[in-house]
Structure 1
Amino acid sequence: MFPEGNVCSTFMFLLLLTTGAPAEKICSVHSKHEVHMGSSFQIYCIFRKECNKLVFQDEVLLKHSSLNSTTVIMSIVNLTRSTTFTCKCQHEPEPCGTDIIPGYPPAVPQNLTCIQQGEFGKVNCTWKIGWETHVKTTSHLWVHGSPPVRFESVAVHDGANSALFAVSGRQTNFSVWVHANNSLGSQNSTILSFNLNKIVKPQSPNITKVECSSRKCQLYTDNAQKMQVVEIQYKEKEKSWNPVLFKNTNSTTSWTVPSLNPYSTYIFEVRWKLGPTRGLWSEWTRIEGMTDEEAPVTMLDVWYTEDLTRTVSKSFQLYWKELNNSEARGKIQRYMVTVSEKGISNETAVVGKKFSVSCFPCNVSISARNSKGQSPARLIQLQPIAFLPYKVSHTPVNNHSVALSWPRPASADTVTEFLVEWFPVGKMQELQWIRVKRHLNTIHITGLQPAMCYKGAVVYLHSSGTKKANFSKISTWQTAPLQSPVPSINVQGEKVEVKWSEIPPAKRGGCLEKYTIYLSGSAGKINIYNVPHPQREVTIGDLTLGQKYKLWVSAWTSAGESPAENHRQFKPKPSRETLDEKHVLFLFLLGGIIFFTCLCLLCLCQLPSVHRRLSGCCHCLMPSIVPDPANSKWAKECASEEGEMKLQLHLSDSSMSEEEPNTVEVEEFPQETFSKGETVSTEETLHPGKLQAESSPYHTNIPSSYLKSFSNESSSSDTTQASRSTDITVDYISTHGVTSGQEDEDEDDDVYECDDGGESEHKAFEFFPCPKSPFLQPLISIGGKLTLDSVKIDCSDLLDCV
């Protein structure tokens, strides 16, 4: 039995069975190459020999059924994409196959229109082909006639075709239609009938030039013949079109467009047609033109700020906004600024949009000038602006806008107008402002940059003066600063002075609130110092000399902290100035301590009790054996011999030679007994108070004696005259004699002398000097005569020298 299928498929199958497959191939595939989208059908593979048969769909093995020993059949259901079917023997490399494409029959052609290109041109017809068929489809334009004429179509653009045909003879009425066809079906469009007068489309206008004054432009053409209707539309850039319709004659060569703005660029488009009811509109022709200038008629919007850093003289900065094209009516070449002070006016030409004025009080007028004239002058009376303690509230609206609100004035003075000014922090030159009517107290300021910090003020404009309420830290949204400040350090001994630069405004992330200084020591401890914005320097003390430190600075916004970067390392060292100051201070303190110590000791020495204690201390420092003249050899011989004894004293005389020194003969006499109540002169005794001292060991045992000297009568005599009689004048050994002579170096003579250069003062011992003080009287007072009993010295007498 034959498989089910349509009649055409069965017929083709039987025909193949009778004719056989091509000799050069092992097998062949029989099926339609184009089928309806989503249809089901059968495919036959016919083999020329017995083999193990395989069938693939896009390289995927399919199940199949055998019709006979050489034919297999596959049933395909709902095919929706292009596919390839392949048949082959298992051990044969050469396959056979076919491609099958699903598609649609053509749609009915739509939107058939025809236009004659020019009064004597060809007719061009265009139409839409409808949906995509996915298979090869052809379209033809048929023109009614006897017989109908078919014209091939060409693709114009996606989904559209067109065809041209020429007009022959005087035929003016036509009927046309489109026939679309593919392997799956065909379709015809509706018939379009037309007259050439209805479809004729003239050539586009040729505009040769445009001439403009300040308020109108005139357009010229060279091909307006036979055109009865002309349409011109015009606009300024970024604005809407304004149409103007003109009725034309054969002699018309230009058209005037009125009511234009001065110094403005306009775009003109022109089209036409043969008559009000004849033909179609031509294509648009575009051209540009610019109107001429006029003198400005609008006053400048001017504002000013006071320079608060100037304290000697008032200084103001004037700002003004540029006029727009419709206001300027030309290119502004310069601004004329006239300053009037004390009846004197000075005019200055300014190119920019700001000007500095140093006067008070004074009036300033500003006007804009172009090539045609000057605008009306704006008069400003410069006066200081007082500050109000009002709080200005703000609320972000979006990334580029903020809503501001402020309180109404409490005073009875009527506000004529409000003015809101603002600028990026650190960029006063970018000052902007907007004027607000007096009955409003809110405004939206726009054009702000995200992550940028702004400050400004609301200005209350009164008829009697000007006041403002400041605001700051305005930002649409904030982020952490993208960059940290760059610090510079100056180490001064145990202190370090830190300064840092401002972060660029684009890197701040909004409004800065504070700075943080991190100081890390070698031990790893980090000290943190916070500094409010806008302060940018700080001094850190109590550093350890010789220790390594690392320092960096970060900035903060309400959204976070900047990254840790720009580290600086340093090691504090003592400065030379610090060392010098310390040395000078140390020496000054040391000298002061020594001076006051000596002064206190000298003052204490004036007290008797202190004097005795110091004497006792000095007594301990004296040698343990003190020579006593009373126990000397000379004193003993004097005691054993009752008679007189000669004592030779060497007198110091520069005229005497060392070989024959001069001598003085001395005779000892017994001490006279003093009657009770008789006193001894200080000229005859060494220390009168000690004569009666009971503590002397020689007071009762050895009688006191004195020495008398015999003067030399002649320096050249070899003999010494001595006199034992009491008639001879007795001279006591004077202090000068002893002082002028040299110290006797004889071992047996233990005589010690005390002399400080005066006639009445003597040295007790060479090793124990007699001190002289500006606060003390001489401790030893000796008369001009010396007796032997006065030479008796004990330790207490010695310490009296102190």
Structure 2
Amino acid sequence: MISTSVSVIVVLVAFVNGARNEDDVQPCAKIQTSRSVVPLGSPVTATCVIRDDCPLVVGRAVHIAWRLGDRFLPSSPVANESGRVSEVVIPSFNRTREFLTCCVQASPLQVVAGVEIRAGYPPEAPQNLSCQTNLTYPNTLTCSWDPGQQETHLRTKYSLHTEIRDSNENHTYELQPGVHRYTIPRAGFGFFLDMEIYVKAVNELGEATSAPIVLEPVGAAKFDPPTIWKIETVPKRYGCLKLSWSLSQHQAWMHVFHLNLEVRLMTADSSQWNEQPILVNRVRTTRSVDQCRLRHGTQYLVQIRVRYQQSPWSEWSSSQSGVTLDSAPTGRLDSWMRVSGDHMNKQLNILFWKPSKQFRANGKNVSYIVSLKKLPGENGKLCSTMENYCFFQPPVRAKKVYLSAVNAAGRSSPTEVRICQPRARAVISDVTVIPQDDRSLLVQWRRLLSSSLTGFVVEWRPLLQTDLSFTQFELTGRNQTLLVITGSFEPYKPYGISVYPRFKDGIGLPQTVNAYSRQKAPSMVPKIQIEKIWKSQVELTWDEIPLDQRNGIIQNYKVYYCNRKGPINVVNADLEARRVTLRDLNNVFLYEAFMMVSTFGGSRNGSRIEIQMKSFDAVDVVAIVTVSVIGLLLMVIFIVVTCFSNNKRLKGRFWPAVPDPANSSIKRWTSESTQDSHLAFDNEEPNPMYLSHLSFLDLHVKLTKEDDDPWSSSAEDTSDLGESICGSPFTPGYSGSNSDSVPYATVVFSGPCNSPTPHVYLRSESTQPLLETEESFSPKCYHNMATNGMPSEQCFFGPSHDCVPVKGADPAIVWDDFPFLRALSLNDTQNG
């Protein structure tokens, strides 16, 4: 933009300053340079000449300045009288394009002349010239080349030149700038005439020509992909296939010429073509091509391509399949045997095998037979299968079995397999697996020294597949402790890898690990479940992640938890237990928790759960219940002990002992004693058995300190029986139904007054109240019925003014029927 503006300014100023009238259009100044286009980095010299009649310099001193773009350049005036000529030298012009202007020192600075200088490089000779003929309609010859590595920064033109040698016919084809490819029409060449072709490059600094090439246009033709019509087997020729083919429809006229042919093959069970195609020289489309030295009884996929002499190869044809003739399998099978258990807990031998490098199936449908005998036959056959393994239970004394491959053409030589028994020997440790890439794993292990060790077996299988046909194995030597296993290992899928030691007399204990060729974060995170909640703790559990969802080896389970006001805490859980206990929780807050599961390939977070703590946990409840039960038991024990200590009193409270007058001690007094007592009244002689004292306690009367125990008073202090009875509960004012129970006295007789035996007074065990009647009674008199039907009174206690003795009454009858009153009477007589 700056250069363009300067150019416009130069033109306008020159026109204004130089045009004095309509007829005078000469510029005010002129710049002369050696060249306007120079090599980049070369020096540039320029001279500015100002006209004498230029209005800007008439009658004044002239000072000329130079400017390259926006930068002023030092100049030197040319020695002349006028001083209107100036010269500038640019030692190295490093710009591809710039304006050089000549200015006159005035106010303001006036531009009087200018010139554009361009710089670049001369063109390089075009490289890698090549031409290719198109044999389809329309026929053309297309040539292309490489312009070179260096940019010229100048407009460079290319031209294609052809010369037909036999006809001296020359053609030049001009190309647009920047185009490095040109297609020559069919009129400019002949198919079978030699042509010399070259390319010329031209710009303002020079020109260059490519190295010429000489070719025959048909020899530069790239054919269309050929077509395989059919593939047939060669009769009685094992390992041979016959290919019938042709060119495309537009190139079918070339069948009369000899062509070169390449064949590539691939077995049907492979995924790669053979490394080196098979070359067949000078073949015609009218002839078929035989391919031999192939595997017998094998299906092949075949492709071909063609060219003429040194022309480029055509593209590969579409694939066609063919099968060689079958023959009996050849070579041996690699195998190994171990013992396995079935669902019936029976020990079964399982034999695995695979083709060795020398084995050839030589047929499509190949089966395998395990037999106890070398010669073929049904006798001794243990199993027959088309898989790569077999379960069988050999006889007890069998030491070896024979493995053979069978197809429609025959049976291979048997491979002898020794029956190896399991041995409880562990010589392998520290098995590790390191992924190499998606198709290989490095297995390493450590071994212990053992003289009977003969080698190792490395066995692997996909854990998500239950079919044993996916099991693969490799046999190694006894000194080998690492192995690179290859196969189609799927990323993020688990594989079980086992290393077995082999001994002379059997197979030892294996070491097994799980491995992944590539790992990533698990596809799922198990849901956390609350197992138990205490006052300040909670136990969380979760289920195991399904094997197909793990995507790698689980490294850890981390449980993050927090409340709204606290920091985030993390707990690492045990991989096997799959449970964790969160401790020191506050039952006031609501907690949130989530789990993160990690593998070597990444981590994934699970969903959040809320945990509400309990105010009382099971421990508190158990403690409270325990204390309550213990307190209740202590209370029950105390009550029981109290009950046993007060058994008689409680028994009397709940089961009252009602006195039986018929069984009282007074009833048991003998009639003789009664009689003797009765006689004492008459004879006034001492009675050997008499009632010494009887008193009653009135619970309504408060006893003094001296009378606290009325039962313990001596015989000398006894009161009159009449007074005692009259002051007892038998008084008219006593009501037995409304009073408390009164203890009865047990009366024990003592001897006469001069007898050394003391009086004995005992409390009764009964606390029941006396039996009473509705009528009140008085102990003073006893009412009897008179013989004549009229009531009568009899006095028992001597004369009284309350009662008068009845005449004619019989005292003997009264005393015999009422012994208690008789005893009272006796006591009263004695006291009197």
Matches within 5 A, 1:407-556: 407=447, 410=450, 412=452, 415=454, 418-422=456-460, 433-446=472-485, 456-461=497-502, 465-472=506-513, 487-493=528-534, 496-502=538-544, 532-537=574-579
Q: Give the C-alpha shift of residue 733 in structure 1.
A: 12
Looking at structure 1, the residues matched to 190 and 806 of structure 2 have their Cα atoms a distance apart, in angstroms, of 202
Q: Which residue does the alignment assign to 1:269?
A: 305
1:211 aligns with 2:230: yes
SS in 2 for 1:284: coil
Equivalent residue, structure 2, for 1:617: none
Q: How far apart, CA to CA, are the structure 1 residues paired with 2:405 and 2:625?
A: 71
1:77 aligns with 91
Partner residue in 1 for 2:56: 50
How far off its partner does 1:678 sit?
Answer: 11
Question: When the two structures are aligned, how many residues end up with a matched partner?
Answer: 653
CA distance in 2, matches of 1:717, 1:606: 52
- Report the Cα distance in structure 1 between the residues aligned to 2:208 and 2:98, rounded to whole angstroms: 29
Seen in structure 2, the aligned counterparts of structure 1 residues 248 and 648 have a Cα distance that, compared at 3 Å, is closer
| CA distance in structure 2 between the partners assigned to 1:113 and 1:637 by the alignment | 167
- Which residue matches 2:761? 689
Q: CA deviation at 1:76?
A: 2.4
Query: In structure 2, what residue type is equivalent to 1:443?
Result: L
CA contact (8 A) 1:420 1:457 kept: yes
Residue number in structure 1 paired with 2:782:
709
Aligned partner (choices 699, 702, 725) of residue 625 of structure 1: 702
The secondary structure found in structure 2 opposite 1:39 is coil
The one-letter code of the counterpart of 1:50 is L
Equivalent residue, structure 1, for 2:173: 152
Shift of the 464–239 alpha-carbon distance from structure 1 to 2, 3 Å rule, reads same
Report deviation, 1:82.
0.9
Pair 86,515 (structure 1): closer, same or farther in 2 beyond 3 Å: same
Confirm or deny: 8 A CA contact 1:65 1:73 kept in the other structure.
Answer: yes
The amino acid that maps onto 1:221 is: S
Question: What residue ranges of structure 1 are gaps of 5+ in the alignment?
Answer: 1-16, 274-279, 609-621, 653-670, 681-686, 692-704, 736-781, 792-802
Correspondences of 1:223-622 after superposition (within 5 Å): 223=252, 224-236=254-266, 237-248=272-283, 252-260=286-294, 262-273=298-309, 281=311, 283-292=313-322, 388-394=425-431, 400=437, 401-407=441-447, 410=450, 412=452, 415=454, 418-422=456-460, 433-446=472-485, 456-461=497-502, 465-472=506-513, 487-493=528-534, 496-502=538-544, 532-537=574-579, 568-574=610-616, 589=630, 592-601=633-642, 604=645
Deviation (angstroms), 1:403:
4.4
Cα 1:365/1:221, change in 2 over 3 Å: same
Check the 8 A contact 1:399/1:449 in 2, yes or no. no
Deviation at 1:455?
6.1
In 2: Cα distance, 1:320 partner to 1:783 partner:
123
Aligned equivalents of 2:312, 2:791: Cα separation in 1: 174
Q: Distance in 2 between matches of 1:208 and 1:477?
A: 43
Distance 1:477 1:22, change over 3 A: farther
Task: Report the Cα distance in structure 2 between the residues aligned to 1:540 and 1:317, rounded to whole angstroms.
Answer: 49
Offset from partner CA, 1:196-237 (integer Å, 9 cap, x none): 6x9855672662334234752514215243313433242544
Contact 2:126 2:208 in 1 (8 A): yes
Counterpart secondary structure, 1:625: coil
Q: Cα distance 1:545–1:716, how it changes in 2: closer, same or farther (>3 A)?
A: farther
Residue-by-residue CA offset, 1:305-360 (whole Å, 9 max, x unaligned): 9579x796779999998999x9888999x9999999xx99999999xx999x8999
The equivalent of 2:39 in structure 1 is 36
Could you tell me how far apart the structure 1 residues matched to 2:417 and 2:367 are? 15
- For 1:79, what is the secondary structure of its paired residue? coil
Unaligned runs of 5+ in 2: 1-16, 58-62, 234-239, 267-271, 373-379, 650-698, 712-718, 736-748, 764-777, 795-803
Q: Aligned-pair distance for 1:536?
A: 1.1
Alignment-derived partner of residue 723 in structure 1: 805
% identical equivalent positions: 16
Task: Give a deviation string over 1:518-543, Cα, whole Å, max 9, x none.
Answer: 78799979999765432213567998
- Paired residue secondary structure (1:230): strand
Q: Is the 8 A contact 1:497 1:540 kept in 2?
A: yes
1:758-788 alpha-carbon deviations (Å, 9 max, x no partner): xxxxxxxxxxxxxxxxxxxxxxxx9898749
- 1:102 partnered with 2:119: yes
Q: Deviations over 1:119-169 (max 9, x none)?
A: 998888777666644432444527489998452254899867787795799
Mapped to 1, the partners of 2:178 and 2:196 lie a distance apart of 24
Instruction: Quote how far apart the aligned CAs of 1:35 are.
Output: 1.4
How much does 1:287 deviate?
Answer: 0.4
In the alignment, the residues of structure 1 paired with residue 538 and residue 174 of structure 2 have an alpha-carbon distance, to the nearest angstrom, of 90
What is the CA distance between 1:436 and its match in structure 2? 1.6
CA 1:729–1:63: 2 relative to 1, 3 Å: farther
Q: Whole-Å Cα distance in 2 between the matches of residues 163 and 404 of structure 1?
A: 65
What RMSD over aligned residues (CA atoms) do the two structures have, in Å? 7.1
Q: Answer yes or no: is the 8 Å Cα contact 1:49–1:70 preserved in 2.
A: no
User: Residue 597 of structure 1 aligns to a residue in which SS?
Assistant: helix
Q: Deviations over 1:618-644 (max 9, x none)?
A: xxxx9992498999xxx99966999xx
Moved more, 445-454 or 593-602: 445-454
